[in-house]
Structure 1
């Protein structure tokens, strides 16, 4: 027997109480808190008998969690660092996305799916989740270079995902001018980002510094939240993801020099809404459907974990990262996130609540989110093993390659 909650207050009471119980159990068992949130989502979701929360109402609140988590990432990235990271992290993102689209398409064809379904599968497994990475990094300490490179890659992937969505939607609607749609979308997106950055840099840092001089934490918090949600709204109204606007807002606040202070202020709010986001992901899981298609779920999960570790590690080596850093970056990127749900929805029939591919995307995202903290922890011994067992000639070749790249990059790298 299933009983649905009647209003928003009952939704929040049920979600937060079950999430609290699940996280207490997970913490006592020394498991990541994300695991507790996902389990709580399954328990209060509509596909498990008992009392369940209204999915639509919780989804609306969960969007706030995405915005705040991505805003907090932006607070760590001033634009000078972004400009330095863009060419290298962007190249890794492109190599990784192309590799995963190919692997996902191949797996789809091997399972007997049509070409269109296989293409959507490849696109679905290609984009990592900035929100999942951010949450995993809260629980597992990583070295600064790995953290910087990972966030640079996932943010570059978000831009690629926006362009990919535009092309896939055009193809799904019967359009034949996908290349033209891609170029138009890329041009509009670039213009939007440039205009938002220019206007933001002219106003936001000075505004935040002026508010900070008032020495009132509440005023600084309210102003920062206003900027965060304001830029997210602008991005959404322009037809892009709220995450893009939230990240740019965080980077602009960081330019004021108050990034660390603002991050401390928003941390409790971010944690609450971040918890609701992960619970909402768990609510989308249909255990019966995933059990029926367990072989596809297992295959796609393996493709995401192995494919991303290998492709990101090799691409990171190609841009001159040390083998240990490259491998740790690959382990940290082995998951998919919110963009995968949006891509999978392109193939959902009109009027259908969810497709098999959508359910598989949620299932793979949930499993990889569960595995993410463990993989990040495992990356340290894996990197140590690689350092000990990497053949000496290969180590020398990598070292010479890095030296040559350093000579090329030094004259053009901006000063910190």
Structure 2
């Protein structure tokens, strides 16, 4: 009982502070997602005079649910037809971005005097974008339906897929000191096979099941069924050592083929907004302002490199793909 009261207290603090800060940011015409992160810093363990959050582990777990719902909602809005439409361009742009950003990050690391391994990992980190941040930002701007936004989502999904192969490569380099490209290609091949089979089987079963449940005209039954499919598939993906975010996107894209798509989106929206808010606050909880001050110079250099590097690499990739 004491644990439950502590959790409710933490949740109350998060929602109250996040509400006040995001209203302020909205009045200042700043992104609401930035307000959530600032709220997390305010109530986090690194901000004096006292810590307002006591059960950070549970908050982090709820934050993971925010990732699931954000990516699931993206899948609902980004159907398979849209994915195939931007597929070639997205692949070229994502590949060019990853290659160029790895090189930029590696060169920055070498300039700072870091060893080759640290420089390589810096490049890999800079090569990956935060899908959740971008989805939330475009949603606030009301641009999720724009053609360029669909291309951005395609690039992010391809980027997430290629990131899995990149992680395999980097893990092998870190452990053995050698590159095992064959293992990475096999891993990527298995992932693509799993995605293909999941999509084919899922489209044959899930939309029909949802349409059958929807006939009962019960929002509660439909919501529980949708969440059951979502969490069940995410669990399967995690058991296969793949990204839970990718799994949430895939099951969302499968459900997007249902005739009751608009009703499902309406039911999911409040749940998504609550958990996504907790996710972004949880990011703020991990930020230590003192570290930002201590390492301001490398942070500034890397920030500039990311902003201009992403513009050049993604812009070049989309241009080469004919956009």
Q: Which TM-score tier does this pair reach, normalised by the shorter chain?
A: over 0.9
Select 1:273's aligned residue among 272, 275, 297: 275
| C-alpha RMSD of matched pairs (Å) | 1.6
Partners of 2:171 and 2:59 in 1: how far apart? Answer: 26
Q: Deviations over 1:195-214 (max 9, x none)?
A: 21222112101111111222
- Cross-structure match for 2:32: 33
- Cross-structure match for 2:11: 12
Kindly state the Cα deviation for residue 168 of structure 1 after the two structures are TM-superposed.
Answer: 1.3
8 Å contact from structure 1 (residues 75, 260) kept in 2:
no
Q: Deviations over 1:119-151 (max 9, x none)?
A: 000000111111111100111133621111010
8 Å contact from structure 2 (residues 82, 150) kept in 1:
no
The count of aligned residue pairs is 317
Partners of 2:117 and 2:179 in 1: how far apart? Answer: 16
Partners of 2:298 and 2:120 in 1: how far apart? Answer: 15
- Cross-structure match for 2:52: 52
Partners of 2:5 and 2:166 in 1: how far apart? Answer: 38
Kindly state the Cα deviation for residue 180 of structure 1 after the two structures are TM-superposed.
Answer: 2.6
- Cross-structure match for 1:192: 194
Aligned runs of 1:224-303 on 2, under 5 Å?
224-303=226-305
TM-score, reference length from structure 2: 0.94
- Going from structure 1 to structure 2, the CA distance change for 1:177 and 1:110 (only over 3 Å counts) comes to closer
Kindly state the Cα deviation for residue 258 of structure 1 after the two structures are TM-superposed.
Answer: 2.3
Partners of 2:30 and 2:86 in 1: how far apart? Answer: 33
Correspondence 1:64 to 2:65: yes
- Cross-structure match for 1:81: 82
- Cross-structure match for 2:215: 213
Partners of 1:93 and 1:155 in 2: how far apart? Answer: 9
Q: Deviations over 1:80-118 (max 9, x none)?
A: 332222222111101111111111111111111111111
Correspondence 1:316 to 2:318: yes
Partners of 2:52 and 2:94 in 1: how far apart? Answer: 38
> Secondary structure, in 3 states, of the residue corresponding to 1:75?
helix
> Secondary structure, in 3 states, of the residue corresponding to 1:112?
coil
8 Å contact from structure 2 (residues 162, 188) kept in 1:
no
- Cross-structure match for 1:109: 110
Partners of 1:226 and 1:56 in 2: how far apart? Answer: 24
Select 2:185's aligned residue among 179, 183, 186: 183
> Secondary structure, in 3 states, of the residue corresponding to 1:51?
coil
Runs of 4+ aligned structure 1 residues displaced above 4 Å come to none
Q: Deviations over 1:21-51 (max 9, x none)?
A: 2112212222221121011111121111212
- Cross-structure match for 1:343: none
Structure 2 gaps of 5+ residues are: none
- Cross-structure match for 1:391: none
> Secondary structure, in 3 states, of the residue corresponding to 2:182?
helix
> Secondary structure, in 3 states, of the residue corresponding to 2:176?
coil
8 Å contact from structure 2 (residues 18, 281) kept in 1:
yes
TM-score, reference length from structure 1: 0.73
Q: Which of structures 1 and 2 has the larger relative contact order (alpha carbons within 8 angstroms, sep 6+)?
A: 2
